[in-house]
Amino acid sequence: MKVIYKYKLMDSLEEQDVLLPAGYKILTFQVQQDYNIVFWALVDTSKRNIRVTFKLVYTGVELKDNLDPHVVGVYYKYCATVQTLGLVYHIFRKQE
C-alpha cells in the first residue's frame, strides 16, 4: 500500500538513522509548530525497511564529511535547509 508518512529528525549534529521502506521518496523537510524537524515521504508499506542515515549541519560549521559523489566510498547528498529557533540546519543523506 502506498501512503505518505511523516518522520521526525532529532536536532542533533550526530548521524541519525530512520527506517524507511525501500523505494521511498522524500517529499519535503519542514519545521512544525513544536519546533521539530520532520519530513514526509511517499512509501510503499509492502516493501522491506531499510536504514537511511541523515546528518544535520549548522551554517558555518566545518564539513569534515565527503560531500562529493564523484569520490569512491561514502558521501552525503544535500536534501534541504530548514530554520528553527534562530538556527539554520542543512540536512544531508548518507549515500554509499
**For 17-72, how does the pLDDT look when each residue is reduced to its tens digit (9 = 90+)?**
999 999 999 999 999 988 899 999 999 999 999 999 999 988 888 877 666 655 65
Q: How much is the pTM?
A: 0.86
End-to-end CA, the chain: 27
- Which domain covers residue 28, as residue numbers? 2-95
Q: Chain-centre distance of CA 87, in angstroms? A: 17
H helix count then E strand count, the chain = 0, 7
Counting every residue written for the chain, the total comes to: 96
Number of domains in the chain: 1
pLDDT in tens, 5-27: 999 998 887 889 999 999 999 99
